[in-house]
């Protein structure tokens, strides 16, 4: 955004708030909301203690802004997934989760999701916003694929909402664990070793089932 009066220099001025938000994002993800000190944010943004208060009400305000700005951006990227895919629904599901992992799960944003869970009750309006802008659409996205699969006879019929939650759970879990227990020295033996492989395996299991295929019963048919 170029200011008509001052020209390009205006750009730098407007960049200040974003630099602060970016620094805040990194720190929030890395250390959590409480452990992130205002001064850390300021320093990481290359300004001094008082400056963030010129642009934001307080720490809570910064947190809200960070979530709003970042998540929306990330989520818009994920929307691209929906582009008219032609193949079978299982493949489409795999593709969706794959992109999800690539664009969000494996990025700083995953830390933000975890943080959102952690702080949800402390920021009700923000939580509401996050729910409306991210969670509901995301569930819609996956739900559409499931419905597509059912409609095309690829998937078994059933409660779509529950299926969505089930399919989504491993991703959520990994995003949360990777930013909680997995960061503590003695607790790393969990999933985190190869998240991508885990997600693939989890999807296979959810698609094909843990039990031996009932095809052994086929002779009786």
Partner DNA sequence: GATGAATGAGCCTTCATTCAT
Partner DNA sequence: TATGAATGAAGGCTCATTCAT
Binding site for DNA (CB under 7 A): 1, 8-13, 16, 34-39, 47-51, 53-55, 58-60
Rg of the chain over all Cα atoms, to the nearest angstrom: 21
Q: How many chain residues are in contact with a second copy, going by CB under 8 A? A: 71
Over the window 28 to 47, marking each residue x when it contacts a second copy by CB under 8 A and - when it does not, the resulting string is ---xx-xx------------
Spatial distance between the Cα atoms of 36 and 25, rounded to a whole number of angstroms: 10
Contact 52, 38 (CB under 8 A): yes
Which is nearer to DNA, 31 or 99 (by Cβ)?
Answer: 31
Q: How far is the CB of 203 from a second copy (least distance, A)?
A: 9
Residue 36 interacting partner from a second copy, DNA, none (CB closer than 5 to 8 Å by kind):
DNA
3-class DSSP state of 166 = helix
Which is nearer to a second copy, 21 or 202 (by Cβ)?
Answer: 202
Task: Give the orientation angle of helix 108-119 with respect to helix 59-79, to 10 degrees.
Answer: 130
Q: At a CB cut-off of 8 Å and minimum separation 6, what does 50 contact? A: 42
Contact 72, 133 (CB under 8 A): yes
Spatial distance between the Cα atoms of 150 and 84, rounded to a whole number of angstroms: 17
Q: First-to-last CA distance in the chain?
A: 69
Which is nearer to a second copy, 144 or 154 (by Cβ)?
Answer: 154
Q: Which of residues 110-149 bind a second copy (CB under 8 A)?
A: 114, 116-122, 124, 127-128, 131-132, 135, 146, 149
Residue from 20, 42, 112, 167 that binds a second copy (CB under 8 A)? Answer: 167
Q: How far is the CB of 172 from a second copy (least distance, A)?
A: 5
Q: How far is the CB of 23 from a second copy (least distance, A)?
A: 18
């Amino acid at each position: 955004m170029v200011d008509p009066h001052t020209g390009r220099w205006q750009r730098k001025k407007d960049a200040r708030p974003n630099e602060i938000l970016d620094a805040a994002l990194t720190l929030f993800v890395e250390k959590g909301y409480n452990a992130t000190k205002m001064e850390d944010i300021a320093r990481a943004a290359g300004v001094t203690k008082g400056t963030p208060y010129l642009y934001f009400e307080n720490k809570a305000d910064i947190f809200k802004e960070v979530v709003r700005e970042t998540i929306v951006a990330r989520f818009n990227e994920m929307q691209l997934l929906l582009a008219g895919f032609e193949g079978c629904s299982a493949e489409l599901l795999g593709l969706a989760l794959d992109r999800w992992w690539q664009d969000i799960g494996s990025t700083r944003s995953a830390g933000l999701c975890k943080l959102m869970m952690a702080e949800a009750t402390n920021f009700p309006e923000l939580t509401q916003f996050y729910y409306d802008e991210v969670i509901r659409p995301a569930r819609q996205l996956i739900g559409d694929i499931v419905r597509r699969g059912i409609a095309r006879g690829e998937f078994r019929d059933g409660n779509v909402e529950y299926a969505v939650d089930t399919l989504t759970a491993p991703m959520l879990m990994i995003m949360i664990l990777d930013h909680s227990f997995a960061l503590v020295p003695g607790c790393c033996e969990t999933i985190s070793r190869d998240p991508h492989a885990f997600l693939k395996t989890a999807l296979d299991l959810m698609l094909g089932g843990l039990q031996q295929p009932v095809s052994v019963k086929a002779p009786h048919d």
